[in-house]
Structure 1
Amino acid sequence: MLAPPRTVVRREAGLYALEQALQRRGFRHVAGADEAGRGACAGPLVAAAAILPEGKRGEIPGLADSKLLTAAARERVYEQVVAKALAWSVMIIPPTEVDARGLHVCNLAAMRRALASLTVRPDYVLTDGFPVDGLGAPGLAVWKGDRVAACVAAASVLAKVTRDRLMVELDSEFPLYGFAVHKGYITDDHTAALTKHGPCAEHRFSYVNVAAASGRGNRPPRARRPAEPAAAVPTLFDAVVSFDETASSDAAVTEPLLLPGAAEGTVGVASGGQPQPPASVVEDKAMEGEKR
């Protein structure tokens, strides 16, 4: 039997061309997943997933890679995404879990959780940059996917806007660091504040610059943290989150909720207290202090 003809999608074909090509092949619901906060040394890691409607209904004016949009433009696009998406979800990983499990492990787990929480089952999954296994659907890692595929760009906006809002909230709790301005990334101002005041409970103590500023650089991440227990990550969404003890450790179970003026979606907070996989996980040293 002859194999079907190869589909070639050129970058100049536009942001929606890859999804349309997959839909022509029978993959009706194409999900995109992306994250925000990988390179930050403070605040949560946030992953998001989104499925946009087929055809013109799924086109969102101004949609692009979140890093290419202004803050105001991201907010406008965010509202469009949550209003138009067939399904969307956001997962929030607190810095304590990043320290305990490692950045890359948490990144993969967060995207799995976000995709598993979609209320519409994806037929195909596009992820930004690197492959994510265990999705229960065929998938493709797309280099700079947030500039190539609309669903990945939509996920990048969801993740970035959610994280930025959380960092603004954290700024009121920890006003010495300027979180509302630099959002926890390693800027000169943030480095100066970290050196002067030392890290707070929302910093990632597994990052070399935070470990050095803590004065306990040769101790494991949990020992480097302040003696006071870290407060729960504040969220603008009154999400009720639970974890299914019988499910996979990477599958968060969350109650769906409505954001103000938004369509139905899912927001989850991944707690370090959830069931952990039996195999031990070492820190992802290669990612420490990574800039974005």
Structure 2
Amino acid sequence: MTGRRYGYERALAEAGLGPVAGADEAGRGACAGPLVAAAVILDDVPEGRIEGLDDSKRLTAMARERLYTEITTKALAWSCVRVEPGECDRLGMAEADLQGLRRALLRLDPAPRFALTDGFPVPGLPVPGLGLWKGDQVCACIMAASIVAKVTRDRIMADYDEQYPGYGFAGHKGYATAAHRERLERLGPCAIHRLSYANVRAATRLVQS
């Protein structure tokens, strides 16, 4: 199974388009915290392959942490960038997502010759690219990027839990769960909430009334 998940990278490399990078993000749907985008170039040799890669959302936190360490140790290149809440508000999430993925891919060293991304292509790159439907479930380098992005963002939100006590960021990671909504309505938004989101605006009005 592990070898099969490298199929896209292998086919592109055989066509002279290697190295191939995968990119994905975490936090697009959250109403607090940054969007985090990651890009990874994996090494498709037996000793460089990583067992257990999958969509980060289908892995346990312990498995993601183990794989994060292995990815960042074995990858030919990896990068991770943050798009802060204020920039997400200014750009809108669709553009923030594109810019985050583009920045992560452009930071890779060595630079890729082809980019694979989850769901949709990223314009404005100096190399060709392809968006794969459910790419984080079928393509090794996108799976790896999804894990790096998710683990990085979860660690950021755990740090924010200490900085902004009472919101429960370590648990819900900034997503609009029932517990988060209740605390947001009671405490009002803090500095890492995305003020363009309807539930955050509503909580602002509620606290001010």
Q: Residues 33-64 of structure 1: CA distance to partner in whole angstroms, max 9, x if unpaired? A: 00000000000000000001123233112111
- Give 4+ residue runs of structure 1 displaced > 2 Å after superposition: none
What is aligned with 1:117?
A: 107
Cα pair 1:48 1:91 within 8 Å, conserved: yes
Aligned pairs for 1:1-292 (under 5 A) are 14-215=4-205
Cα pair 2:23 2:142 within 8 Å, conserved: yes
> Alignment length, in residue pairs?
207
What is aligned with 1:262?
A: none
Cα pair 2:6 2:44 within 8 Å, conserved: no
Q: Per the alignment, in what secondary structure is the counterpart of residue 89 of structure 1?
A: strand
Q: Per the alignment, in what secondary structure is the counterpart of residue 39 of structure 1?
A: coil
Q: Percent identity?
A: 55
**Structure 2 length as normaliser, TM-score?**
0.95
Per-residue deviation, 1:131: 1.3
Amino acid aligned to 1:84 = K
Equivalents in 2 of 1:138, 1:173: separation in Å?
41
Largest Rg, 1 or 2: 1
The CA RMSD measured in Å over matched residues stands at 1.7
Q: Per the alignment, in what secondary structure is the counterpart of residue 5 of structure 2?
A: coil
Q: Per the alignment, in what secondary structure is the counterpart of residue 38 of structure 2?
A: strand
What is aligned with 1:8?
A: none
Q: Per the alignment, in what secondary structure is the counterpart of residue 127 of structure 2?
A: coil
Equivalents in 2 of 1:144, 1:160: separation in Å?
16
Equivalents in 2 of 1:58, 1:23: separation in Å?
16
Cα pair 1:28 1:54 within 8 Å, conserved: no
Amino acid aligned to 1:43 = G
Equivalents in 2 of 1:57, 1:33: separation in Å?
22
More helix by share: 2
List alignment gaps of at least 5 residues for structure 2. Answer: none
Equivalents in 2 of 1:168, 1:181: separation in Å?
8
Amino acid aligned to 1:100 = R
Equivalents in 1 of 2:157, 2:97: separation in Å?
18
Equivalents in 2 of 1:97, 1:134: separation in Å?
19
List alignment gaps of at least 5 residues for structure 1. Answer: 1-10, 217-223, 225-292
Equivalents in 1 of 2:67, 2:91: separation in Å?
32
Per-residue deviation, 1:14: 3.0
Equivalents in 2 of 1:149, 1:127: separation in Å?
9
